[in-house]
Amino acid sequence: MAEILAERYTGASIRRSEDPRILTGAGRYVDDIKLPGMLHAAFVRSPLAHARVLSVDASAARALPGVVAVFTGAELEAMTVPGPDALMALLSWTGPTPEFSLLATDKVRFAGDPVAVVVAESRYLAEDGCELVEVEYDELPPVTNASFALDPGSPPLFENLGDNIARPHSRNEFGDVAATFDSADRVTDVHIDVHRHQNVPMEGRGCVATYDADLGLMTVHAATQSVHVTKIAIAMRLGMEQDKVRVLAGDIGGSFGLKIGASREELAVAAASRAVGRPVKWVEDRSENLTASGQAREESFDVRAAVSDDGDLLGLDVKMVVDTGSYPAMGAMVPETVEAMFPGPYKLAAFGFESTAVTTNKACYVAYRGPWASETFVRERVLDLIARDLGLDPLEIRLRNAAPRTNPPAFMITGRPLVGVTTRESLQRLAQIVDFPSFRRRQADARARGRYLGVGVATFIEAAPGPRSPEGASGPLGTESMRLRLEEDGIVALFTGQMPHGQSHQTTLAQIAADEFGVPFEQVRVVVGDSDIVPFGLTGGSRSATMTGGVALHGARQLKAKVLEVASHLMEASAQDLLISDGQVLVRGDPASAIGLGEIARRAAVGDVGAGVDANLEVQASFDGGEGGWSGGTHCAIVDVDVETGLVRVERYVAVEDCGALINPAVVEGQIRGGIAQGIGAVLLERSAYDQDGNCQSATFMDYLLPTACDVPRIEIEHLETVPLDADVNFRGVGEGGMIVAPPTLVNAIEDALSPFGVRIYEQHLPPARVLELIAAAGPAQ
């Protein structure tokens, strides 16, 4: 009888195992946690961007029935350990390190800065209590933009820094920058701004903390991208040993980079819970999310490009300034990645990069889906500006400059090899999908009738996880670990430090392990969200497809070998003659010999295998990323710009992407479309806006506009699946690419639409009013 081989799950759009609970209201998000005796926290927040705190009077709030405690900044500081931002410490940041407490003590640094926390029997009562806390401020001049922050005379946000520099100016050069620019036919010189916008997951931040004073044990239910990073932050700030802190997480309502570790508020809630001896819940409201959770980007670039008359991009020289807002963390570190990624898939003879990061009186910088994405925006914008000057087609200039795929691969001038990068292939495939000559004819006809259509193209590469480097593992965060166990009921359990918040890991990792182990998909459980039982890990940086997919594959292989070894003793057959099929172990060619995996595990557990045999059906696997490699591709948008209203309609959007082998095509395409939708929002709608006094002007969903089902078109996706790089693991990540490349794709299309007016675009945010301004400033159509 032929072997019964299970159908392969990997590569198929298997329905998600997360969905039955999510579709019936049975998901368990942090706000769904309800513990006996649980209290609720709310924060008193600064109405001013920059001020000294003269006094905080909480007596009226404390007297309010239902209010259990109020902690001012000074009181909370006495209950916690001072120190740097936990994430910066974890990433070994050595630059300027501002000193600050969890709640403001001596001064407030942005409108929304938490000043006190009220703990009460209900959220309603906690908010009532906040109204009764009297805070006296002495206003300071607000530092609301980077150019003022760079002025040595600007009032420093952090006294211990002495100025507002969060990352001192530095410059690096690759190749001979001066000679390249001296000998170039032409030099393009532009200033490009990327505006402040933000993650806005549908579920904001939140946690429920509970402290067992007898055991000295802190348990925190968190919405986080990593239970371990949250645990480390809590242990640091609460002065506890890490093994006394347990972080649990269930379903998480999105994050996009916002929920890495623990925020100041979440740490304050944990401290408050310890102090009052009862569980405390805090879930931010949307206004807190928009004003105080964190914001992203706001970077400016001075760019010089050395170009030949034929359109060869020879060199780039870039000056970047990051406005990190208050309480700097990742914003001070992002220039390193921007620098490394800036050349993208293009050949460059020389590259100069300098950067500075400043603190301002705005919400703090947080990671947002492709935190370094501005390099792609600027580079792809500059390529189009050059192409327009030279009369070149946007496809042509990219094909001309993209490094060809060679063996060995070409290197980015900043150092990394372009392993598996298929930019040229994606451009060529796009040209087959979108009939550019036909579009140009339609565009000309439309213009003759006063309708302005435009086409935009942009390419990107995404280090997902990135190429193997001589120094270590692929990707930025080292190796990935996983514990795998055959349970006594035959379930194959995968314990991972990944903390999915929409990425479908409970489905995709089970697909891979089921195939490798030889069990039905339903027989694999992916266990996440408990720092006591899962290994260290973090969901972010587009790393999970390769790193966690890879460790699931290799771990399942190791566990299978161990199970077969044990089974060989139980079945008195050589392990080489055994196979696992459909959840059973059998002797090859003898279906009657089949024994269920559960029985193997039970018999191993009770010692049936005899002495001297390792019957522990558990493995600890790790994976370094194998050959790694890049994801990437080319996107194309066709837009229709109404020059009377300034409204931009996205008529067509095509994504040609290469992420190697697809684990679950529906999941991959969901990530791509979701990222593009965020890019559409970033360009056409979203802005975290401040007035000149530092008041946040986008504190509700009436002011911070998100794309709806009417703003995002049906997106066409074409997959290139390049030749395998690794013997086993050729899945690469796609989490960030859509958000990285959609903004330049759209802005390039809008500029193309407005080219009859001579409009040139040096910014990313193009709501209708701004489109009209650009048209008015450029003059009548030619």
Partner 1 sequence: MDITLRVNGTTRSGSPEARKTLADFLRDDLNLTGTHLGCEHGVCGACTVILDGRAVRSCLMLAVQAAGSEVTTIEGLATDAGLGPLQQAMWDSHSFQCGFCTPGFVMQATAFLSAHPDADEQEIREALSGNICRCTGYQSIIDGVLLAARRNTEHASER
Of 606, 709, 723, 727, which lies in the binding site for partner 1, with binding defined by CB under 8 A?
A: 709
Q: Residue 108 or residue 499: which is nearer to partner 1 going by CB?
A: 499
Report, in Å, the least distance between residue 67 CB and partner 1: 16
Report, in Å, the least distance between residue 21 CB and partner 1: 8
**Edge-first strand listing for the sheet containing 350-358:** 165-174, 350-358, 313-323, 296-307, 186-197
Q: Residue 386 or residue 650: which is nearer to partner 1 going by CB?
A: 650
What whole-number distance in Å separates Cα of residue 508 and Cα of residue 502?
Answer: 12
- Are β-strands 51-57 and 134-139 bridged in parallel, bridged antiparallel, or unpaired? antiparallel
Q: Residue 86 or residue 283: which is nearer to partner 1 going by CB?
A: 283
Residue written as tokens 């994430």?
Answer: 87
Phi, psi of 33 (to 5 degrees): -75, 130
Window 279-318: residues binding partner 1 (CB under 8 A) = 285-286
Of 702, 723, 780, 782, which lies in the binding site for partner 1, with binding defined by CB under 8 A?
A: 702
Work out whether 1 is an interface residue with partner 1 (CB under 8 A): no
What whole-number distance in Å separates Cα of residue 760 and Cα of residue 779?
Answer: 12
CA contacts within 13 A on the Cβ side of 26: 7
Window 121-180: residues binding partner 1 (CB under 8 A) = 124
Q: Residue 306 or residue 696: which is nearer to partner 1 going by CB?
A: 696
Work out whether 16 is an interface residue with partner 1 (CB under 8 A): yes
Q: Residue 50 or residue 501: which is nearer to partner 1 going by CB?
A: 501
Work out whether 27 is an interface residue with partner 1 (CB under 8 A): yes
H or E element at residue 655? strand 648-658
Residue written as tokens 């290469």?
Answer: 658
3-class SS letters over 250-293: CCCCCCCCCCCCCCHHHHHHHHHHHHHCCCEEEECCHHHHHHHC
**How many residues of this chain bind partner 1 (CB under 8 A)?**
51
- Are β-strands 590-596 and 280-283 bridged in parallel, bridged antiparallel, or unpaired? unpaired
Q: Which of these, 365, 338, 372, lies nearest to 353 by C-alpha position?
A: 338
Q: What is the dihedral of CA 561, 566, 567, 570, to 10 degrees?
A: 170
H or E element at residue 738? helix 737-753
Work out whether 714 is an interface residue with partner 1 (CB under 8 A): yes
Q: Residue 344 or residue 681: which is nearer to partner 1 going by CB?
A: 681
Report, in Å, the least distance between residue 658 CB and partner 1: 20
Of 66, 253, 646, 756, which lies in the binding site for partner 1, with binding defined by CB under 8 A?
A: 253
Of 701, 769, 773, 776, which lies in the binding site for partner 1, with binding defined by CB under 8 A?
A: 701
Window 172-231: residues binding partner 1 (CB under 8 A) = 200-203
Work out whether 32 is an interface residue with partner 1 (CB under 8 A): yes
Report, in Å, the least distance between residue 567 CB and partner 1: 36
Distance of alpha carbon 627 from the chain centroid: 23
Work out whether 581 is an interface residue with partner 1 (CB under 8 A): no
Q: Is the peptide bond before 408 cis (omega within 30 degrees of 0)?
A: yes
Report, in Å, the least distance between residue 673 CB and partner 1: 3
Of 22, 54, 769, 776, which lies in the binding site for partner 1, with binding defined by CB under 8 A?
A: 22
Q: Residue 278 or residue 603: which is nearer to partner 1 going by CB?
A: 278
Of 26, 433, 769, 777, which lies in the binding site for partner 1, with binding defined by CB under 8 A?
A: 26
Of 706, 772, 778, 781, which lies in the binding site for partner 1, with binding defined by CB under 8 A?
A: 706
Report, in Å, the least distance between residue 87 CB and partner 1: 22
DSSP assignment, residue 295? Answer: B
Work out whether 666 is an interface residue with partner 1 (CB under 8 A): yes
Q: Which of these, 104, 47, 52, 109, lies nearest to 73 by C-alpha position?
A: 104
Report, in Å, the least distance between residue 401 CB and partner 1: 30
Q: Angle at the Cα of 696 (from 768 to 57), degrees rounded to 5?
A: 165
Phi, psi of 475 (to 5 degrees): 85, 165
Determine what percent of the chain falls in helix, strand and coil, rounding each to the nearest 5. 30, 25, 40
Phi, psi of 622 (to 5 degrees): -140, 160
Q: Which two tokens stand for residue 40?
A: 């609720």
Work out whether 670 is an interface residue with partner 1 (CB under 8 A): yes
Contact footprint for partner 1 (CB under 8 A): 13, 15-16, 18-20, 22-29, 31-32, 34, 124, 200-203, 251-254, 256, 285-286, 501-504, 666-667, 670, 673-674, 676-678, 700-702, 706, 708-710, 712, 714-715
